[in-house]
């Protein structure tokens, strides 16, 4: 059943989520930025899934139905953005790069320091300016609607290491290669190869957050060797999987109690 949650009075939320925690589908009256101060989060809507690793924040506009999932123990921070500020942010869900300044501002806004309302307003302006000028990140995995694509997606989600070509996968789901290729382009806006790479990267982020080695992760996600995986991961995430994993497990900020704005 869909559950709608209204905007908290505080203007922000901080939750300590256990591994595997999945929120019920919900929406908010204001758009919001979601950041994992530790752990890793995914944000899912009808349009697909966005994954939010250590150096990214997920933006969800107002009144978009969505749910979150935590991978590893996750310190989730949410900052709600007023409509006047949200105009500078994308009109669709997306993942944005988080600079050092944006990260510290996010943590400050969701911490327990009793800032004055005017100070919080200025901090929100800084946060929005920082993330709105950062490029959107290629971490969106579109959700297929066509039954044949959905069947193919299920096969690959169950086994991301599957290296079968599209023709063989098409045979398994009862559709031709050309038909599936056209559907990927027309419905999802990307090629089959691009979609499968996104799926593998999502899976890789989850495995790395669980402590799996780079080599193990590469093979579990379908890369023939670690070097090819490192190149693809670095291109999408902006750092090597080893450095990403190191940073993921060395973020040691404390867990503040949730507080209300004055």
Beta 140-142 vs 48-52: how paired, if at all?
antiparallel
pTM above 0.85, yes or no: no
DSSP category for residue 185: I
Residue 140 CB coordination number (10 Å): 22
Domains and CATH numbers, the chain: 12-132 (2.60.120.280), 144-247 (1.10.10.60)
Burial class (CB in 10 A: 0-12, 13-18, 19+), 224: exposed
What does each of the 262 residues of the chain score in pLDDT, given as a tens digit? 333 343 455 689 888 999 899 999 999 999 999 999 988 899 999 989 999 887 899 999 999 999 999 988 899 999 999 999 999 999 999 999 899 999 999 999 998 888 899 999 999 999 999 999 887 877 889 999 999 999 999 999 999 999 999 999 999 999 999 999 999 999 999 999 999 999 999 999 989 988 899 999 999 999 999 999 999 999 988 889 998 888 776 654 444 333 332 2
Q: Which of 255, 259, 262 is nearest to 112 (CA)?
A: 259
Q: Which residues contact 224 (CB under 8 A, 6 or more apart)?
A: none
């Amino acid at each position: 059943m869909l559950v709608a949650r209204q905007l908290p009075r505080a203007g922000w939320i901080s939750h300590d989520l256990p591994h595997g925690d999945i929120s019920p589908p919900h929406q908010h009256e204001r758009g919001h930025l979601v950041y994992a101060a530790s752990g890793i989060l995914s944000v899912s809507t009808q349009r697909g899934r966005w994954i939010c690793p250590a150096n990214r924040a997920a933006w969800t506009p107002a009144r978009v139905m969505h749910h979150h999932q935590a991978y590893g123990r996750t310190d989730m921070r949410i900052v709600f953005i007023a409509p006047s500020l949200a105009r500078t942010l994308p009109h669709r869900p997306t993942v944005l790069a988080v600079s050092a300044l944006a990260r510290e501002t996010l943590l400050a806004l969701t911490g327990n320091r009793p800032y004055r309302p005017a100070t919080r307003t200025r901090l929100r302006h800084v946060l929005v300016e920082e993330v709105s000028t950062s490029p959107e990140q290629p971490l969106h995995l579109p959700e297929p609607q066509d039954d044949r694509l959905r069947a193919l997606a299920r096969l690959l989600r169950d086994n991301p290491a599957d290296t079968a070509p599209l023709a063989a996968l098409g045979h398994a789901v009862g559709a031709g290669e050309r038909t599936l290729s056209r559907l990927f382009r027309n419905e999802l806006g990307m090629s089959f190869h691009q979609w499968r790479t996104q799926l593998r990267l999502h899976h890789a982020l989850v495995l790395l957050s669980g402590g799996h080695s780079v080599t193990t992760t590469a093979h579990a996600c379908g890369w023939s060797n670690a070097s090819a995986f490192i190149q693809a991961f670095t291109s999408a995430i902006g750092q090597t999987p080893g450095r990403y994993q190191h940073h993921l497990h060395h973020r040691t900020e404390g867990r503040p109690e949730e507080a209300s704005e004055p």
